[in-house]
Amino acid sequence: MTQISHIHSMICLSIIIPVYNVEKYIQECLLSIYNQIESNIEVIIINDGSTDHSAQIIDEFTHKLPSSLKQNFIVIHQNNQGVSHSRNNGIQQARGNYITFIDSDDIIADHYISNILFAIKKSPDLVQFNAYCFFESAPEKNYHLSQSSLSGLHKVNDELLCDLFNKNNWFSWLRVYKRELLLDNPFPTNMTHFEDAFIVSKILSEIENIFMIKQSIYHYRILENSATRENNLETKNKLLNSCSLLIKELIKNSKKREIFAIPLLHFSYIYLDESKKSRGYFITNKNWKKIAKEMKNLKLNLSIIQTKREKLANSNMRCDSLKSLMIINKLSKFL
């Protein structure tokens, strides 16, 4: 057995990092991993056609690695294809029994890897942890994501899903996945937004157990000029098209399992709100009728909904016309 294949046979965790034009942050991201990496972990860096100095920084960083760690860092340079293609490429290359993702402008806490290695020793289908969100230019805005109080290994049932769904945290990097789950459920390449929610909701519908970590072991950098915050018309249209694909998938899941109506309502609200802002009354009304027709017969126990937004969306999904929907919106302050 060669040295490389021997190392690969020992890998228990693959960390995939899609990279695109993050020259300001990529070294800090890689250092946060390097400072705690172990021999049974591989880091797969996918440079997705960056046009800044990201590729050069990555190559210089990996070139300076100790010889004992060089084979634990794998760099792939590809033409620009988008984050979903990059993640799928990394998944195909991964050797670990478990896979997770780190965004290239984020960093991990000092105890990130030790917590994850402890969790995967329990052989869960999925590991989920909490995150700390920070603003580089406005630290007074920093906050923790809405956290679950659960810890340890749990069976996935409707009560647990209710807790997770009402938190509305869909980031793919918030979880560690059994490799087979991602091989069977690749990221959708026809979506520019909400691809994380698409995959996470599908995987949550399939798994039997999950290991919960209460600590915030991931540090999520919020950039004011992030692509998800762009407001031009083209981006809005891509967002709405992606959201409609996600809604269709969640309708299927909701028909099989009532609890999935919670994320369905959440993303339906987003669709309606964004559509009214960018497409106007008549187009929104036409599009909403198509969705409402599919959703109208879904049964939902309102007691499982914990947020005003989803309660409002539940009322909205019973409305065939936008006029009725707008009346309900005006009444939402009384929820």
DSSP-derived secondary structure for 71-126: GGEEEEEE----HHHHHHHHHHH--SSEEEE--TT-EE-TTHHHHHHHHHTT--SE
Residues 252 and 323 in one domain: yes
Residues 40 and 137 placed together within one structural domain of the fold:
yes
Which pLDDT belongs to residue 331? 34
> Cβ(72)–Cβ(7) under 8 Å?
yes
Residue 306 pLDDT exceeds 90: no
Which residues lie below 8 Å from residue 307, measured CB to CB, with a gap of 6+?
Answer: 166, 168, 266
Of 91, 92, 72, 90, which is closest to residue 4 (Cα–Cα)? Answer: 72
Q: pTM to 2 decimals?
A: 0.87
Query: Residue 135 belongs to a domain with what CATH number?
Result: 3.90.550.10
Structure token pair of residue 312: 């409002």
Q: Distance between CA atoms of 179 and 92, rounded to whole angstroms?
A: 10
- Amino acid 305: pLDDT: 59
Question: 166-181, pLDDT tens digit by residue?
Answer: 888 999 999 999 999 9
Last residue of a domain, one of 210, 227, 244: 227
Top-confidence residue, 107 or 287:
107
pLDDT at residue 116 in the model: 99
Closest to 240 (Cα-Cα) out of 211, 203, 210, 267? 267
Do residues 91 and 216 both lie within one domain?
A: yes
Q: Which of 178, 195, 227 is the C-terminal boundary of a domain?
A: 227
Pick from 261, 262, 243: nearest CA to 252: 261
Same domain, 181 and 263: no
Same domain? For 90 and 223 the reply is yes
DSSP for 17-36, written as a single string? EEESS-TTTHHHHHHHHHTT
Check: CB of residue 213 under 8 Å from CB of residue 151: yes
What integer pLDDT is reported at residue 303 of this predicted model?
60
Query: In this structure, how many other beta carbons lie within 10 angstroms of the beta carbon of residue 38?
Result: 12
Mean pLDDT of the chain: 86
CA–CA separation, 17 vs 252, rounded Å?
Answer: 31
Q: Indicate whether 116 and 201 sit together in one domain.
A: yes
Instruction: Specify the 3-state DSSP secondary structure of 168.
Output: coil
pLDDT in tens, 230-240: 567 788 889 98
Please check whether residues 27 and 174 belong to one and the same domain: yes
Same-domain check for residues 325 and 284: yes
Q: Are 133 and 145 in contact (CB under 8 A)?
A: yes
What confidence tens digit (pLDDT) does each residue in 27-75 have? 999 999 999 999 999 999 999 999 999 999 999 999 999 999 999 999 9
Instruction: Note the pLDDT of residue 260.
Output: 92
pLDDT at 274 (0 to 100): 85
Q: Is 276 in the same domain as 261?
A: yes
Predicted local confidence at residue 4, as pLDDT: 41
The predicted-structure confidence for 240-253, as pLDDT tens digits, reads as follows 899 999 999 999 99
Give burial (CB, 10 Å; 0-12/13-18/19+) of 303. exposed
With cut-offs at 50, 70 and 90, classify the pLDDT of residue 330.
very low
Handedness of CA 244, 180, 176, 69 (dihedral sign): negative
Sign of CA dihedral 136, 138, 144, 145: negative
- C-alpha pair distances (Å), 288 with each of 73, 247, 266, 277, 331: 47, 12, 15, 14, 19
Domain of 243, in residue numbers = 230-334
Q: Which of 227, 249, 282 is the last residue of a domain?
A: 227
Asked if residue 181 and residue 240 are part of one domain, the reply reads no
The DSSP call for residue 224 is T
In contact, 83 and 94? CB cutoff 8 Å: no
Q: Is the pLDDT of residue 143 over 90?
A: yes
Provide the number of structural domains found in the chain.
Answer: 2
| Residues 130 and 150 placed together within one structural domain of the fold | yes
Closest by CA to 240, choosing from 202, 291, 296, 310, is: 291
Residues 175, 260, single domain; the answer is no
What integer pLDDT is reported at residue 275 of this predicted model?
Answer: 82
**Per-residue model confidence (pLDDT) at position 321:** 44
pLDDT digits (tens, 9 = 90+) for 179-215: 999 999 999 999 999 999 999 999 999 999 999 999 9
pLDDT at 268: 86
Confidence of residue 2 (pLDDT cuts 50, 70, 90): very low
